[in-house]
A and B are shown apart, each in its own frame.
Chain A
């Protein structure tokens, strides 16, 4: 079977800081990582390949240095990595990004039919969760989002456990399909030495705007219906009351609890025995 994994190199947002003086985003020195959710998609693809045989192809869109993320991804046991990189792609919103990625996947499919496409449920820098479904729609594949378990994979179907607010939905889809994954899906492996050596010698393929029959009106800034009009710092929260609980911890704890009841922040259940008189 042929598994394709969509993978994005992202800034490690847990390292992104706001400059306290200028109130702007400090991006210098922020390391780039593989989007954590995508890493779990890659892990699942490799597990399935190990189980049923086949190969894993990684597709990513990004600047030339995103090659590093692809080389890193290769250390986990993927077979092929393609970076879509061109200035014409820059500034794409999720609609345009899904167009570019789906075009590339279509091209891969021409020579190498695809059974499953994996993507993270969202990227941690944008948090939109839109690119995966956008790719599925353009490819005409069923989409299964928020997957926490692959229950079964047959020649023609995949059965997935999806997470929703009210419970877990078990869904079966016909192949080829696209799955976006939660971190609960699996535990990441460590790279094996042979794969690390293989990856060190591997050079990801780079496709630019000329590699595909792209409609350039659908990509980049001009192909993106949405644009940022303003950014600002999130409204701060003003501090409340600070209490010193070092001298008499029990009394301080009791005071706080009492205040919570007095302000009706926590309410006594009226049905409780001997309710408030």
Chain B
């Protein structure tokens, strides 16, 4: 009897509190319809007040990049707010430089719409599209990596550059969230998008993608990111990756050899053990066709007895140091864990590559 009483008291109190909050919200947090002016009148939106700028823009099919799903932890959803929107919040300051703060840059996920707001967003973001696609194939690459190929449904074509990324919509208990993945299919394949996904235990996006089967529908937005490949074929390309950092590298390499069959390109790929190695055979075949393509895989863990590994051992920056001659005009793309990026950046700068020619993505 006392249990029932306790539970009903508990429920009663919670219900009253919830009721008070709902009533309060209705009277206190009501902003009506607010206007958003984008790029000085290029587009004008009318949205319900009270929501965040990021959600309002996504609702209007303007896809601002966001990897964290609006929690203010990735810092990707930067927009310029020209008027309205209140001051910069403490949650944003870690992601903004002083210069950005002075010029009104904000994180769209932290800007709450309470009034009419004038914003500026990069032109290319207005070109980001929402794609619906189906899974064409999935290939298990290693114990924790999968290659997933999407066939585009609507729209049927994507125009992407190597190094750009897509945001896949994944279901979560709090509604759909977007997770960013680099596009690994070469840019000349316009009807498909391929991703390389490493499973993260408990990760929303990677778990969803790893469980997809052939024929399953998916929704993603893209392409995002500016990543300019040097168009001069005399410039050597150096790609250094680890783990799922393979995705942009694969795109870069195949795109390069489609356009410039004789261009020099180095691929340094770091793994722990032979179990983590993938695509090695494919790249070696590509290297036979294009003699200026050099593939170097390195294993960081000590080799077990009787192993027939014929690649490099030790961390990947040691291999890069060993193979690269100094003083050649190069552009470098790095994608991997922060310690790797730091070590490789140091090596590359010693080899005479300008910091402005080194592009990286830490994860």
Task: Tell me whether A and B are bound partners.
Answer: no
Q: Which A positions have Cβ atoms within 8 angstroms of B?
A: none
Q: Which B positions have Cβ atoms within 8 angstroms of A?
A: none
